[in-house]
Amino acid sequence: MRTPGKTVKSRQVTLEDIARELGISAMTVSRAINDRPNVDKKTKERILQVAREHGYIRNEIARSLMLKKSQTIGVVVPEITHSFFPEVIRGIEEVTYSSGYHLILAHSAENGDRERSAIRTLVAKRVDGLLISTAQAPETKSAYLQATRMGTPIVFFDRIVDNIGASCVSIDDEECTAKITQHLIDHGYKRIAHLSGPANVSIGRARMKGFKKALRRNSIEFRRQLVVESGFHEDGGYKAMKKLLQLPANQRPDAVVSVNDPAAFGAMAAINEDHLKIPDDIAIVGMSNDIRSTLVSPPLTTINQSPFMIGKIAAEILISEIEGRSMPGRAVIVQAELVIRSSCGCK
């Protein structure tokens, strides 16, 4: 019986090996394998034959070292489970696949230290570029700046950092939130609450701004007690809504703008627990067109952000910067649309 022990890698086949076997130089083998023009047809055939026989697979690590290019981009996301980021990643993958790049995925788990450490090791691995959606943590630009100083371009998406000269891809969070808030106002809601994201990520701040902007445009007084920070998850939405429901009945909101759909789902659970009807007693809207938003009861009015497109565009921009076809500092706004269902009282 075999016993555990260091895995014995059957020494990998190198260009040298093939060259030696054919009595030629490694350089010629390299040329043949990379399909360069200047190699005799016959020798090329012999080389490819032997390479195939030995199952030669080029060592991309050595190649990367030589070329100072890894054909790899690092992706840092704050979470992977909910439907938004998987869709973004699929968009990214679509682009990287067809342009010959690979994708190292790192998960910051909303933890700033983990995000910094991820960026650092991705830079150490000499990724050609970084795609980042920031963690929910106190901002520290130093890690980003270190990467860009080393010549590693960054494109931020969704949760962006727009003041360090890197490109950003997102929806117009402020305007979208204003739009969906306006939708509620247009339907006669007067006391509108906001379940807000944390102020240390761009979308938290921008959506809050959009909410306030809509109130201002309609000369509706902004009431501090109608804003509760919920974070981005169900439990936070639930707790924040509970808090709003504890207000005296005449101060309670008649509608709620949630920073995203999962928080809205949590809030809906809280509302149901109090035996209030949605939308009759309290209307509610989300912001991320979660896969579940059609299934909850009532179906959630929300904003479709096209996460697939966000990923695709972010990756395209990054690769074009890597390949020197465009300059950093672009700010791309992806179109997003209001999806009207019945949680807002329509239909």
Judged by the rule CB under 8 A, the positions of this chain that interact with a copy of itself are 2, 4-10, 12, 55, 57-62, 64-65, 68, 70, 72, 80-81, 83, 85-87, 89-90, 93, 97, 102-107, 114, 120-126, 146, 149-151, 153, 291-292, 295-297, 321-322, 324-327
The tokens of 47 are what?
A: 């080389």
335 touches DNA by CB under 7 A: no
CB under 5 to 8 A by kind: which of DNA, a copy of itself, none does 217 bind? none
Residues 4-23 that bind DNA (CB under 7 A): 11-12, 14-16, 23
Planar angle of CA 40, 45, 48, nearest 5 degrees: 120
Comparing CA positions, the residue from 127, 33, 78 lying closest to residue 260 is 78
CB of 294 to a copy of itself, least distance (A): 9
Q: How many CB atoms lie within 10 A of CB 38?
A: 6
Q: What is the DSSP string of 156-201?
A: EESS--TTSS-EEEE--HHHHHHHHHHHHHHTT--SEEEEEPPTTS
Stretch that binds DNA, among 24-32, 84-92, 156-164, 227-235 (CB under 7 A): 24-32
Q: Which residues pair with 302 in a beta bridge?
A: 339
Does residue 196 come out as left (phi exceeding 0), alpha (psi in the -120 to 50 range) or beta? Answer: beta
Residues 61-120 that bind DNA (CB under 7 A): 62-63, 65-68
Would you say 231 and 239 are in contact if contact means Cβ atoms under 8 Å apart? no
CB of 40 to a copy of itself, least distance (A): 26
Whose tokens are 């974070």? That residue is: 231
CB of 269 to a copy of itself, least distance (A): 11
- Nearer to DNA by Cβ, of 26 and 309: the residue is 26
39 touches DNA by CB under 7 A: yes
Q: Which of 3, 7, 10, 38 binds DNA (CB under 7 A)?
A: 38
Whose tokens are 């912001």? That residue is: 287
CA distance 41 to 211: 69
CB under 5 to 8 A by kind: which of a copy of itself, DNA, none does 14 bind? DNA
Q: Which residues lie near DNA (CB under 7 A)?
A: 11-12, 14-16, 23-28, 30-31, 33-34, 37-40, 43-44, 58-59, 62-63, 65-68
